[in-house]
């Protein structure tokens, strides 16, 4: 029986490190023209997929990941760092840290993907995180926060998606289940979970999230309050069927999409 690790299933279901690194490079070229932003900190890095792709994408790039949980950190070192060349390996590391308490060393870019900062539910906590991040970014650098929202993110619902992968040379299929358990309109607290179905086996609650669904204007205001000089929003464009294209453009106004993803940027 195939018994894949839950981090393997998670990565194959929700992460696209090549596309994410291209997007970071696009935003950096747009907001810091004529400069090459090279050093990246990946907050909430989990298995460090973005860090690994960042150092692969250019020989001058460096990356440092922070995560609280030693288990995904160890998984990333074992399965991803080990596949890098010796030169790439020297330019990446990942350590166990609470992102709210670090302000050193400084980087050109901080990236926080997959809505992970929604873990900070109180305004004062999020402001503290943003201030620490601001202090950790070099002059002219960027803080890129991935956000999601829309009415589709507050409905209680489950969504199933088949995922096809090759594992140890064999073609495999599993089901990824995104479960929206609850939303509180007073606090904006949301509870989400990810389940996997693998060969008739159910991995219920493989990942569970207890978050606050922040809004873009709240986050923009907090970034300015934390000392960023300006903000920018990159909005995912839609195709004719209303599906996300994976392409982003800088926008001042969004569409009232059922579910949307945006990259909100604090500019130092």
Ligand X SMILES: C[S@@+](CC[C@H](N)C(=O)[O-])C[C@H]1O[C@@H](n2cnc3c(N)ncnc32)[C@H](O)[C@@H]1O
Q: What are the residues binding ligand X (CB under 6 A)?
A: 14-15, 44-46, 66-69, 72, 98-100, 113-114, 116, 119
Our CB check for ligand X shows the closer of 70 and 242 to be 70
Which of 7/235 has CB closer to ligand X?
A: 7
The DSSP element (H or E) to which 113 belongs, if any, is none
- Please check whether residue 37 is in contact with residue 69, taking contact to mean a CB–CB distance below 8 angstroms: no
Smallest separation (angstroms) from ligand X to the CB of 58: 20
Token couple for 149: 């929202």
Shortest distance, CB of residue 72 to ligand X, whole angstroms?
A: 5
Q: Least distance (Å) from ligand X to the CB of residue 110?
A: 12
Please state the closest distance from residue 99 (CB atom) to ligand X, in A.
4
User: Of 122 and 139, which CB lies nearer to ligand X in the complex structure?
Assistant: 122
15/93 with CB nearer ligand X: 15
Give the residue with the Cβ less far from ligand X, 31 or 99. Answer: 99
Query: Alpha helices of the chain — where are they, by DSSP H?
Result: 6-14, 17-31, 49-57, 70-79, 86-90, 123-135, 216-225
CB of residue 1 vs ligand X: minimum separation in angstroms? 27
| Secondary structure class of 8 (helix, strand, coil) | helix
What are the residues whose beta carbons fall under 8 Å from the beta carbon of 144, sequence distance 6 or more? 24, 27, 109, 110, 111, 112, 263, 264, 265
CB 60 within 8 A of CB 36: yes
Residue 218 DSSP SS3: helix
């Amino acid at each position: 029986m195939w018994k894949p690790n839950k981090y393997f299933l998670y990565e194959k279901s929700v992460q696209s490190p090549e596309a994410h690194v291209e997007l970071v490079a696009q935003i950096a070229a747009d907001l810091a023209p004529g400069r090459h932003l090279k050093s990246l900190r990946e907050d909430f890095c989990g298995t460090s997929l973005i860090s690994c792709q960042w150092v692969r994408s250019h020989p001058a790039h460096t990356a440092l990941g922070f995560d609280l949980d030693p288990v995904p950190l160890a998984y990333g070192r074992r399965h991803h760092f080990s596949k890098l060349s010796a030169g790439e390996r020297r330019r990446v590391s990942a350590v166990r840290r609470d992102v709210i308490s670090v302000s050193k060393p400084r980087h050109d870019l901080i990236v926080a993907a997959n809505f992970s900062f929604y873990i900070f539910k109180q305004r004062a906590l999020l402001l503290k995180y943003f201030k620490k991040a601001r202090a950790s970014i070099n002059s002219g650098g960027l803080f890129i926060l991935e956000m999601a929202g829309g009415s589709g993110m507050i409905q209680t619902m489950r969504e199933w998606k088949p995922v096809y992968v090759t594992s140890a040379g064999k073609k495999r299929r599993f089901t990824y289940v995104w479960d929206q358990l609850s939303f509180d309109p007073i606090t904006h607290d949301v509870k989400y979970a990810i389940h996997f179905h693998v060969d008739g086996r159910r991995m219920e609650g493989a990942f569970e999230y207890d978050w606050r669904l922040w809004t873009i204007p709240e986050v923009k205001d907090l970034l300015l309050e934390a000392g960023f000089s300006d903000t920018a929003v990159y909005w995912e464009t839609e195709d004719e069927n209303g599906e996300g294209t994976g392409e982003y453009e800088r926008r001042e106004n969004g569409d009232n999409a059922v579910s949307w993803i945006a990259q909100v940027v604090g500019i130092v």
